Structure 1
Amino acid sequence: MGDIVVSKTKEGGGSSKISCPVLTETNYAVWTIRIRLVLKINKVWDLVENEIDDSEENDLSTALIFQALPEMLLFQLGNLKTAKKVWDAIKERYLGADLVREARLQTLASDLERLKMKDKDTIDDIARKLTELSSKATTLG
């Protein structure tokens, strides 16, 4: 599936586009960062975070999230009534229970301990790997 593009018209007639990938089994961390930004730009992130009761904004935030979900997940979450419930269900599915999250954090810690610079690696390669491990750990809490 291709990227989801959300267009927003700026005051004064211009428009901006934000590209958000469809959620997959491997891109949850990046997906959450991008979809959170889409929701903030559309001024509905607070509703997702706090479950504010505003049906029009709830519909908008839910629609934005659903646009970035694969069909199979959409069928599973389609009956949830609020964007916060959808967000929490996705988070639970991809982060799992506390035990799974702890296991993933331990795996990341092991990956960090095993990280060594090879002769062919550049400083940028190592920095990228460290940043990736850090981002994944941050996402897991």
Structure 2
Amino acid sequence: MSFTLPLPPVFAGENYYIWVVKMKIYLQAQDLWSVVKNDFEPPPLRANPIIAQMRQHAEESTKKHKALVCLQNGVTDVIFTRIMACSTPKEVWERLKENFMGSDKTRQQQVINLGRDFENLKMKESESIRQYSNRIMATVNSTRLLGEDFSDSRVVEKVITILPERFESKISSLEDSRDLTTISLSELVNSLYALEQRRANRQEEHPEGAFQAKAKDGPDIQFRSCKQFGHVEKVCKNKAKAPAQQQIQAQAAEDLQAQ
């Protein structure tokens, strides 16, 4: 089946790292990446070439111009003015890298800063597992776009070691059932997300349990009828006693007045 490539991705001056990844794949799909990376030139034809050799040489010779067209059409007119003097696709690629990625020293400093951010990422108590994993992957993908290798196993290890105590039972269960060094991040997140959903459903089905759990976190809550702390009216064990005590006090007051 024939496959027609779409137009090349266009770089307008922002998100250079994303454009680089897309453009590299685009050039590879057209068998043009080698002339960009290595500034490839086909060897000259030998004497008395056959027609097939002449055709192949012509195709190899035009690859440089095809790659140059792809790169020129892959930028806006404002960016094109920076590369229009470049005569080879490799020169264009390096010029854009120099203008928008910075020096190797600058890039390495960015990688170090992102690595520090990754190590300092912690899950908040109010945060869901998917929200936390999204924050982690934002940092990881930024690092990868800078050309730095970042393995999935390192991300999984980070998630497992930094999870709050409420996930401890699930992690222990996963450790018993399989090797966590081979588990994917998506599989781990989905397992923990399923645990979160089950707990949320149980709280909806048994709201009294949710009130009691809240009371543990807020012992300063006082139920005004029984004057005790740590719970509310819905789960008060003494709420039936309060009206009886009030009745006794009221009857005593009436007897006193009659006397």
* Equivalent-residue separation in structure 2 for 1:110 and 1:91 (angstroms): 25
Question: Does structure 2 conserve the Cα–Cα contact (< 8 Å) formed by 1:20 and 1:35?
Answer: yes
Counterpart of 1:127 in structure 2 is 133
Structure 2 residue 66 is matched with structure 1 residue 66:
no
Over residues 41-74 of structure 1, what are the superposed CA-to-partner deviations in whole Å (9 max), with x where a residue is unaligned? 1110111111112541111111111222122221
Query: Match for residue 142 of structure 2?
Result: 136
The higher-RCO structure (CA 8 Å, 6+ apart) is 1
1:79 deviation in Å?
1.0
2:64–2:89 Cα contact (<8 Å) kept: yes
Kept after mapping to 2: 8 A contact 1:48/1:83 = yes
- Deviant stretches of 4+, over 4 Å: none
CA distance in 2, matches of 1:93, 1:80: 14
- Once the two structures are superposed, the pairs formed by residues 1-141 of structure 1 within 5 Å of their partners are 12=1, 14-18=2-6, 20-53=8-41, 55-119=61-125, 121-140=127-146, 141=148
CA contact (8 A) 1:36 1:45 kept: yes
Quote how far apart the aligned CAs of 1:28 are.
1.7
Please say if residues 20 and 31 of structure 1, whose CA atoms lie closer than 8 Å, have aligned partners that are also in contact: no
| Larger Cα-atom Rg | 2
8 Å CA contact retained: 2:8, 2:74: yes
Asked if the contact 1:47–1:84 (Cα under 8 Å) also holds between the matched residues in 2, the reply is yes
The residue type paired with residue 103 of structure 2 is A
**Higher mean C-alpha deviation, range 39-48 or range 51-60:** 51-60
TM-score norm. by structure 1 comes to 0.75
| Identical aligned residues as a percent | 22
Cα distance, 1:20 vs. partner? 4.8
Determine the C-alpha separation between the residues in 1 that align with 2:69 and 2:76.
13
Cα root mean square deviation, aligned: 2.3
- Structure whose residues are more often strand by fraction: 1
The 1:75/1:25 distance shift into structure 2, 3 A limit, reads: closer
Unpaired segments of 5 or more residues in structure 1?
1-11
Deviations 1:5-30 (A, max 9, x none): xxxxxxx5x44444654224441222
Bigger proportion of residues as helix: 2
